[in-house]
Amino acid sequence: MTLPDAFFFPVRVSPRARKAGVLGRTVKPDGSVALRVAVTEPPEEGRANAALCALLADAFGVPSAACRVVRGASARDKLVRIAGDPTALAARFQALTR
């Protein structure tokens, strides 16, 4: 999903991982693609979500304030919004999910 100033995409998060990073993609049962991400923080008090946004901001080359979890804050499957040029962000998403 895109807006003139943002890009939305699904993410599957693994909290309490040994090592943080973008792991590629996962295909959901409905056939849609989600970005797989691991964070070392536990899913308590928003710590995993904050770590997720910091990691995604770095991966997409935007400030961490540009990233926000808009759905699924307490779930492993989330919808993330990153503010910026949607065309450039969509291209980066495609590169990360290859």
CATH code at position 91: 3.30.1200.10
Domain that holds residue 52: 2-96
Q: Which amino acid is at 48?
A: A
CB-based contact 86:2 (threshold 8 Å):
yes
Q: What is the pLDDT of residue 28?
A: 87
Q: What is the pLDDT of residue 2?
A: 55
CB-based contact 51:40 (threshold 8 Å):
yes
How many domains is the chain partitioned into structurally?
A: 1
Q: What is the mean pLDDT of the chain?
A: 94
Mean pLDDT of 3-28: 94
Counting every residue written for the chain, the total comes to: 98
Q: What is the pLDDT of residue 77?
A: 95
State the distance between the two ends of the chain, measured CA to CA, in whole angstroms.
18
- What gap in Å lies between CA 4 and CA 26, rounded to an integer? 27
Q: Which two tokens stand for residue 57?
A: 């901001």
